[in-house]
Structure 1
Amino acid sequence: MSLTKSVYNLLFRRTSTFAITIMVGAVVFERIFDQGGEAVFEQLNRGKLWKHIKHNYENKEEE
């Protein structure tokens, strides 16, 4: 109960801190969701993406 009351008093009691908490939470959630989705995409498409196969198509200049 003490932790709940502390969080309420710190983040949700005033409208300004509540709005900032929501905005920061949205940005953090967006970054985590984006990076998680990118990791899943990379895992599902391993070996098919350009960065994984470009060494097969690059010309190696002989000096």
Structure 2
Amino acid sequence: MSLAGTLYNLVLKRTSTFTVAVLACAFMFERGFDMASDKIFDSINKGKQWKDIKHKYEN
């Protein structure tokens, strides 16, 4: 059995498993995209954010 056949039998054959797979992939993509965009934003704005300068103002 090929990879496509195995994928079909495990995920795509039933609507419920297909729906769960789509929701799981959407959740993982959202988390990964959010983490990547936060890292990019932090690297662009390094030294300008409160977390970088709060030691100057706290006792």
Q: TM-score scaled to structure 2, two decimals?
A: 0.91
Structure 2 gap segments, 5+ residues each: none
**Structure 1 portions without partners, runs of 5+:** none
Instruction: Quote the sequence identity (%).
Output: 49
Residue 7 of structure 2 is matched in structure 1 by 7
Tell me the distance in 2 between the aligned counterparts of 1:29 and 1:56.
Answer: 37
Matched, 1:20 2:20: yes
Aligned residue pairs total: 59
Q: Which runs of 4+ in 1 moved over 3 A?
A: none
Q: Distance in 1 between matches of 2:14 and 2:55?
A: 56
Distance 1:55 1:25 in 2: 40
Distance in 2, Cα, partners of 1:41 & 1:3 = 39
